[in-house]
């Protein structure tokens, strides 16, 4: 790992229709905590930057460990200069050289857009931090990683191992490409958010209230939806078969139309209202879902309310809502930063962002331009070595 950019390892502990609510926090099992933790890892920083923060490869600077020793049947070679070969394959006295430049070109063709997007996003945030006098130190990055691990009662070492094995995110990638941008944007956005009693009530109902257990058939044509609805209405017991035969959603279709229970205030008022208006065994009307999709619901029953009084979970609800509102502010801020930054992408021959002042084809002068790595120390992230 890059010197000065170490991560604290030893501190103490398919797109289906989005008509379900968040996971119920009633269970305190390790498996649930692990799944929720990994969602935070993938979501906290990455959802803020949409898909922009692609992860870059890194090489550990430490040496002499068992994992880095040559495997049986291999010989450790000295590093080659950049102008040399990436590999040489020899057989029966004949050899084929694979130039290092060819390797670079192939890698760039395959992941160039993702890596460049990541670097562009970081540069956008970096410039905003410099303009606002915001600095994120490495100590703050490590403290945040430790906080997240402790939140789920997982040792930092285990947390980082989980990320690497299940999300293919190395500790350095997590530190520099997820945690640092998240902290920087949070500082830029500020954390002065207001949580109202109405917010608390909705969150309580969403997370702990009764839910509707439903099955669903999704179709992409209103005429076909009407035909299926008529068959389901005449014989509700045929709903499973109709879902298997006609639904265009592969996940629920494979489960006879079953989808996660619907909670109130979970994101789709049309679906929620239709579901809660049904009685067990009843079939809904045809509901338009998004653009060009139609769903038919069947009520299977209702779940019991998990927690009876909001006072039992008030503190945790408030904490979660503050974080949720901060994340919303961060996402909005980042979109604004992208819109107000001009990005001349020579890799893809495009100019995006704040281009209203530009007319025709302009060859920019680029004042005060410096390599991206030179901007890193100002944020507490040293340049790679």
Dump pLDDT digits (tens) for 159-179: 999 999 998 889 998 998 899
Cα–Cα distance, 245 to 232 (Å, whole number): 12
Answer with the residue of higher pLDDT: 263 or 25: 263
Mean pLDDT over 140-151 rounds to 94
Secondary structure (3-state) at 215: strand
Alpha-helical regions (H) of 179-268: 180-189, 197-208, 222-234, 239-246, 250-253
CB 337 within 8 A of CB 354: no
Residue 22 clears pLDDT 60, i.e. is over it: no
354-366: per-residue pLDDT in tens?
765 444 444 454 5
Secondary structure (3-state) at 145: helix
Phi, psi (degrees; rounded to nearest 5) at 278:
-85, 155
Give the count of alpha carbons within 13 A of 59, CB side only.
Answer: 5
pLDDT of residue 254: 94
243-301: per-residue pLDDT in tens?
999 999 999 999 999 999 999 999 889 999 999 999 999 999 999 988 889 999 999 99
Phi, psi (degrees; rounded to nearest 5) at 262:
-95, 130
Mean pLDDT over 124-130 rounds to 94
Mean pLDDT over 57-85 rounds to 52
Residues of the chain with CATH 3.10.50.40: 210-302
Task: Indicate the helix (H) or strand (E) that contains 164.
Answer: helix 156-166
pLDDT of residue 377: 36
pLDDT of residue 8: 43
pLDDT cut 90: percent of the chain above it = 57
193-202: per-residue pLDDT in tens?
899 999 999 9
Secondary structure (3-state) at 364: coil
Secondary structure (3-state) at 219: strand
Residue 367 clears pLDDT 70, i.e. is over it: no
CATH class of 210-302: alpha beta
Cα–Cα distance, 124 to 146 (Å, whole number): 27
CB 160 within 8 A of CB 153: no
The token pair at 165 is: 């094995």
Residue 54 clears pLDDT 90, i.e. is over it: no
Give CA separation, 344 vs 1, 69, 126, 131, in Å: 31, 43, 16, 20
Task: Confirm whether pTM is higher than 0.85.
Answer: no
pLDDT of residue 277: 96
CB 42 within 8 A of CB 190: no
């Amino acid at each position: 790992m890059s010197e000065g950019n170490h991560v604290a390892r030893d501190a103490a502990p398919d797109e289906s229709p989005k008509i379900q609510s968040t996971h119920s926090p009633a269970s305190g099992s390790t498996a649930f905590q692990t799944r929720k933790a990994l969602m935070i890892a993938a979501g906290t920083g990455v959802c803020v930057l949409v898909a922009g923060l692609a992860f870059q490869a890194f090489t550990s600077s430490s040496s002499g460990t068992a994992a880095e020793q040559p495997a049986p049947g291999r010989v450790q070679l000295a590093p080659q200069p950049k102008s040399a070969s990436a590999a040489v394959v020899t057989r029966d006295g004949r050899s084929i050289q694979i130039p290092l430049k060819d390797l670079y070109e192939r890698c760039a063709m395959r992941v160039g857009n993702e890596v460049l997007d990541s670097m562009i996003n970081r540069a956008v945030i970096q410039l905003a931090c410099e303009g606002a006098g915001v600095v994120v130190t490495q100590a703050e990055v490590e403290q945040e990683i430790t906080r997240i691990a402790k939140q789920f009662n997982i040792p930092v070492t285990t947390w980082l191992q989980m990320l690497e094995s299940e999300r293919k995110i190395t500790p350095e990638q997590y530190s520099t490409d997820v945690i640092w941008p998240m902290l920087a944007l949070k500082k830029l956005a500020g954390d002065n958010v207001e949580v109202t009693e109405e917010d608390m009530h909705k969150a309580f109902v969403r997370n702990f209230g009764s839910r509707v257990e439903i099955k669903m058939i999704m179709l992409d044509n209103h005429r076909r939806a009407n035909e299926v609805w008529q068959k389901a209405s005449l014989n509700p017991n045929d709903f499973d078969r109709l879902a298997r035969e006609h639904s265009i959603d592969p996940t629920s279709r494979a489960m006879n139309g079953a989808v996660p229970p619907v909670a109130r205030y979970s994101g789709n008022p049309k679906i929620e209202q239709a579901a809660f208006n049904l009685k067990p065994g009843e079939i809904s009307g045809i509901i338009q879902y998004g653009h060009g999709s139609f769903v038919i619901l069947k009520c299977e029953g209702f779940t019991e309310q998990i927690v009876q009084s909001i006072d039992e979970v008030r503190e945790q609800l408030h904490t979660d809502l503050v974080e949720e509102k901060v994340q919303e502010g961060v996402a909005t801020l980042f979109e604004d930063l992208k819109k107000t930054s001009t990005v001349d992408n020579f890799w893809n021959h495009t100019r995006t962002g704040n281009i209203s002042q530009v007319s025709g084809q302009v060859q920019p002068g680029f004042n005060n331009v410096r390599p991206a790595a030179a901007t890193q120390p100002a944020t507490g992230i040293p340049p790679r070595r």
